[in-house]
Amino acid sequence: MNKPEVVVVTGATAGAGRAIVERFARDGAHIGLIARGQAALEVTKAEVERLGGKALMLPVDVADAAAVDAAASKVEETFGPIDIWINDAMTSVFAPFKDMQADDFARVTDVTYHGYVYGTMAALKRMLPRDRGVIVHVGSALAYRSIPLQSAYCGAKHAIRGFTDSLRCELIHDGSNVKITMVQMPALNTPQFRWVKSLLPHKAQPVPPIFQPEVAAEAVYYAAHHPRREMYVGYTSVQAILGNKFFPGIMDRYLGKTGYQAQQTSEEREERPNNLWEPVPGDFGAHGVFDDRARSFSPQLWLDTHRRWIAAGAGLVGVAVAAALARH
C-alpha cells in the first residue's frame, strides 16, 4: 500500500483552498490545514476525514513567518515529511487606489504575497535537504494583466510570479529536484466576495465568465503531480495573458472603460464584516453565491492536461493517413 501524501494548504478552509483540500482528501492525503478561523478549520477537518483523508488544524496567519514555520514543523511531527506545499491564502480590497489606506494595502501584500514567501521558505527548509517535493503557487491571470479596483491584490500576484521565477532559476542552478510551479486561475465562484473589504457602491463579483472552485482544484492537483513551469486555467486566462502580451495599451483602455462595472453586481453594497484583519466567523465552504452563473468544466484545462494523449493520437492519425496515401 502506498504511503499517503503529506500536503499543506494555506487558505485551506474556503474557496479554492477548500476545494483543493477536498480533492486531495479523496485520495487519502494527510493534510495540514492552515487558516485563521477555528470554526472553519473544524468543519474542514471533519470533511477531510469524511472523504477518506486525515487533517491537522493549524490556526495560523500566513503573514506571520515564524508561525508558518512552526506549522510546518507540526505537520512533519504529526504526518511525516511534507510532499506538497500549496500556497493559496489571499485577501483583497475592492477600491480605487486613491481611496486605499496604507495599512490596508500593506495587509493585502503581507497575506497575499509575503504569505507565499513565508510558506515557500518553510517548505524549502524541509524539502531541500531531502531533495524532493513540490511547491504549488495558486496564481491568477491578474499576475499578468492587472485590473482596476484591486491594485494591492494585482500587485501581490505580479510579485509572486517574479519571486517564483527567481527561485526557479536558483533551484535549477543548484541541481535541485524540488519543483515549483504556478497555476494562473480565471475568475472563480468563491466566498471571498461575501467577506472581502469593499469601498464600492455595489456588491463585488468576479469578472465573468466564472468557474467553480473545483476547476481550480483539479488544475492544482494536476500541477502537483505533473509540475510544469506554469499552467493557465480557462480560456479567459489564456486570453487575458496573451492579450496583455500583444496589446497591453488596448487592454488598459478596455479595462478602464469596463473594469469598474464588471466587478460589481446591480445590488447596493451592504455594511458587513470583512476578513482583511480578522477572519469572519463561520464556515463558508468552497462555493460563493454565483453557482447559477459558474462553469464546472473547462475545455481548455481538459485539453491542456491531456495534451500528451492528444499529441499521440494526432501522431497515429498522421501515420495512418501517410500509410493510406502511400498505398495509392
Q: Is the pLDDT of residue 313 over 60?
A: no
Q: Is the pLDDT of residue 328 over 70?
A: no
Give me the DSSP letters along 237-301: HHHHHHHHHH-HHHHHHHHHHHHHHHTEEEEEP-----SSSSPPSS--BS--S-GGGEES--HHH
Task: State the pLDDT at residue 310.
Answer: 60
Give me the DSSP letters along 13-48: TBHHHHHHHHHHHTTT-EEEEEES-HHHHHHHHHHH
Provide the whole-model pTM: 0.94
DSSP state of 4: P
Average pLDDT over residues 137-145: 98
**C-beta atoms surrounding 106 within 10 Å:** 13
Q: What is the pLDDT of residues 157-213, one digit of tens each?
A: 999 999 999 999 999 999 999 999 999 999 999 999 999 999 999 999 999 999 999
Q: Is the pLDDT of residue 317 over 50?
A: no
**Half-sphere exposure of residue 191: CA atoms within 13 angstroms, side-chain side:** 22
Q: Is the pLDDT of residue 324 over 60?
A: no
Q: What's the chain's length in residues?
A: 328
Q: Is the pLDDT of residue 315 over 80?
A: no
Of the pLDDT bands very low, low, confident and very high (cuts 50, 70, 90), residue 277 is: very high
Q: What is the pLDDT of residues 198-256, one digit of tens each?
A: 999 999 999 999 999 999 999 999 999 999 999 999 999 999 999 999 999 999 999 99
Task: State the pLDDT at residue 285.
Answer: 96
Average pLDDT over residues 283-299: 95
Task: State the pLDDT at residue 2.
Answer: 83
Q: Which residue has the cell 492587472?
A: 146
Can you tell me whether residue 235 is helix, strand or coil?
A: helix
Q: In the chain, how long is the greatest CA-to-CA distance?
A: 75
Rounded to the nearest 5°, which phi and psi values hold at 57? -80, 130
Task: State the pLDDT at residue 323.
Answer: 53
Percent residues over pLDDT 70 in the chain: 94
> Under 8 Å CB-to-CB from 294, ≥6 apart: which residues?
188, 189, 210, 211, 212, 287
Of the pLDDT bands very low, low, confident and very high (cuts 50, 70, 90), residue 312 is: low
Q: So where are the chain's domains?
A: 6-297
Percent residues over pLDDT 90 in the chain: 92
Task: State the pLDDT at residue 322.
Answer: 53
Q: Is the pLDDT of residue 1 over 90?
A: no
Q: Is the pLDDT of residue 88 over 60?
A: yes
Of the pLDDT bands very low, low, confident and very high (cuts 50, 70, 90), residue 307 is: confident
Q: Is the pLDDT of residue 320 over 90?
A: no
Q: What is the pLDDT of residues 16-73, one digit of tens each?
A: 999 999 999 999 999 999 999 999 999 999 999 999 999 999 999 999 999 999 999 9
Closest to 14 in 3D by CA, of 44, 45, 46, 52: 44
Closest to 184 in 3D by CA, of 301, 289, 284: 301
Can you tell me whether residue 76 is helix, strand or coil?
A: helix
| CATH superfamily entry for domain 6-297 | NAD(P)-binding Rossmann-like Domain (3.40.50.720)
